[in-house]
């Protein structure tokens, strides 16, 4: 297995995360939570410090060529867009570094959701998508759920509903990787099926970006949004991303105009007529946070150094398979198809993430039985120095992230879980 870039990251110690039962308080904890908040990279820290320094030495002139590190703030994001484009499989003009995931999703809904009396529905996978836009959710929203007793959506069920309801669907919005189950949807096949029915197809890539390889342009995806603090490791609340396929020309897309989306050649003249930058960057409204963008640039440079998603994905598949194998050897593991009918109240767990590596990213979602034991398992794992991510009511997500996690982390995670169960029994 290729070596990780763990040395590029600053990971918390057992003491810092409150692992009271760990015998070595000063050693690094087992951090299997990069799907929720990626750790600090040394590169991000250095670049943020440089920007603080630039601000302190140049103040307003740092916007331009006097910037001491040659990254004038007016076009700071020009350093980010090539890396974003590579990460999501798009052209540079199809991506923008801006805003936050939810705000960007609303911008995309505003531009792409154009209901007519015949075509007005939105097809969703279970997500947190906030529904505004004056919709009557009972009529306009088709939210798919897994079949009774199942946890993941079947591809055929998704394609069937698109075929059946397609003529009344305006917009199909799915998560690339579902946050709860870790299911990676067949993005190309869903996009194609939706577009064949005349629907627009957009993706929420919160849990997919930096986790699985993406080819948004080649798959013909209409639009996508993502945050950068999960697998991309850019820091809490960091600046987000947006993608719009080049086939969408400016004139077809109404948008909220903002001066930062205006052609840079005349931006500072502030002419009365809005002339947007061609492509995704025309959606920019405000000048970007440079401290957040510097942190993002640092973390993207590490992806570049790792060779971007192909080698990382190979490592990720191996790590997740290794963790899965160790977990399935546990005496407390029950197969997923027995979980929903299980009567016993002895504590146990199953894995609800798809078994097929092509239908998942790094994350495994462990479902604890009977309902209610998850919280005590989670707290006990933390006290042993293992950070996973709880999802109420009954799930803990463990994600070995290929940039910094190791086989040793997978072993520690599985071993600690076994100890926690032994103590529960
Ligand atoms: C993480 C996540 C978000 C977070 O949205 P923000 O606007 O960044 O706060 C939204 N949707 C999904 C599916 C997520 O996993």
Which of 179, 209, 239, 395, when mutated, tests ligand 1's pocket best, judged by the most ligand atoms within 8 Å of its CB?
179
How far, in Å, CA of 278 to CA of 272, rounded? 18
What is the pLDDT tens value at each position of the chain, 425 positions in all? 767 899 999 999 999 999 999 999 999 999 999 999 999 999 999 999 999 999 999 999 999 888 999 999 999 999 999 999 999 999 999 999 999 999 999 999 999 999 999 999 999 876 655 555 556 666 788 989 999 989 999 999 999 999 999 999 999 999 999 999 999 999 999 999 999 999 999 999 999 999 999 999 999 999 999 999 999 999 999 999 999 999 998 656 777 778 899 989 888 887 888 888 889 999 999 999 999 999 999 999 999 999 999 999 999 999 999 999 999 999 999 999 998 888 898 999 999 999 999 999 999 999 999 989 999 999 999 999 999 999 999 999 999 999 999 999 999 999 999 999 999 97
CA distance 352 to 370: 15
Question: What is the dotted CATH code of the domain comprising 7-36+309-424?
Answer: 3.90.1150.10
Q: In this structure, which residue's CA is closest to atom 8 in ligand 1?
A: 101
**Closest ligand 1 atom, residue 207 Cα:** 15
0.75 surpassed by pTM: yes
What kind of fold does domain 48-305 have according to CATH?
3.40.640
Residues of the chain with CATH 3.90.1150.10: 7-36+309-424
Distance 100 CA to ligand 1 centre (A): 9
Residues of the chain with CATH 3.40.640.10: 48-305
| Pocket flag, ligand 1, residue 175 (CB < 6 Å) | yes
């Amino acid at each position: 297995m290729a070596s990780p870039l763990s040395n590029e990251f600053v990971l918390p110690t057992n003491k810092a995360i409150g692992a009271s039962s760990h015998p070595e308080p000063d050693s690094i904890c087992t951090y299997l939570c990069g799907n929720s908040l990626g750790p600090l990279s040394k590169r991000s820290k250095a670049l943020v410090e440089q920007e603080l320094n630039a601000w302190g030495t140049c103040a307003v002139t740092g916007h331009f060529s006097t910037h001491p590190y040659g990254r004038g703030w007016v076009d700071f994001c020009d350093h980010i867009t090539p890396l974003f484009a590579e990460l999501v499989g798009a052209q540079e003009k199809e991506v923008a570094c801006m805003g936050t995931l939810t705000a960007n999703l609303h911008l995309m809904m505003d531009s792409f959701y154009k209901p007519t009396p015949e075509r007005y529905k939105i097809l969703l996978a279970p997500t947190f998508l906030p529904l505004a836009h004056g919709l009557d959710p009972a009529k306009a929203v088709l939210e798919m759920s897994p079949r009774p007793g199942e946890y993941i959506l079947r591809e055929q069920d998704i394609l069937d509903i698109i075929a059946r309801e397609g003529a009344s669907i305006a917009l199909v919005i799915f998560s690339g990787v579902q946050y709860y189950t870790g299911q990676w949807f067949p993005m190309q096949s869903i996009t194609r099926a939706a577009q064949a029915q005349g629907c627009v197809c957009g993706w929420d890539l919160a849990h997919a970006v930096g986790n699985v390889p993406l080819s948004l342009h080649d798959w013909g995806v209409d639009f996508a949004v993502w945050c950068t603090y999960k697998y991309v490791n850019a820091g809490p609340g960091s600046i987000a991303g947006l993608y719009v396929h080049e086939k969408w020309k400016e004139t077809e897309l109404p948008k909220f105009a903002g001066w930062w989306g205006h052609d840079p050649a005349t931006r500072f003249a502030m002419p009365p007529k809005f002339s947007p930058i061609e492509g995704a960057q025309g959606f920019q409204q405000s000048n970007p946070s440079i401290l957040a963008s510097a942190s993002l640039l640092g973390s993207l440079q590490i992806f570049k150094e790792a060779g971007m998603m192909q080698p990382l994905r190979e490592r990720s598949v191996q790590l997740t398979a290794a963790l899965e194998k160790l977990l399935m050897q546990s005496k407390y593991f029950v197969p997923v198809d027995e979980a929903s009918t299980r009567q016993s109240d002895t504590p146990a767990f199953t894995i609800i993430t798809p078994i097929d590596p092509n239908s998942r990213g790094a994350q495994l979602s462990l479902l604890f039985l009977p309902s209610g034991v998850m919280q005590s398992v989670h707290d006990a794992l933390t006290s042993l120095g293992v950070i996973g991510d709880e999802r109420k009511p009954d799930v803990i997500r463990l994600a070995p992230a290929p940039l910094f996690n190791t086989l040793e982390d997978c072993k520690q995670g599985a071993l600690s879980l076994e100890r926690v169960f032994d103590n529960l029994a």
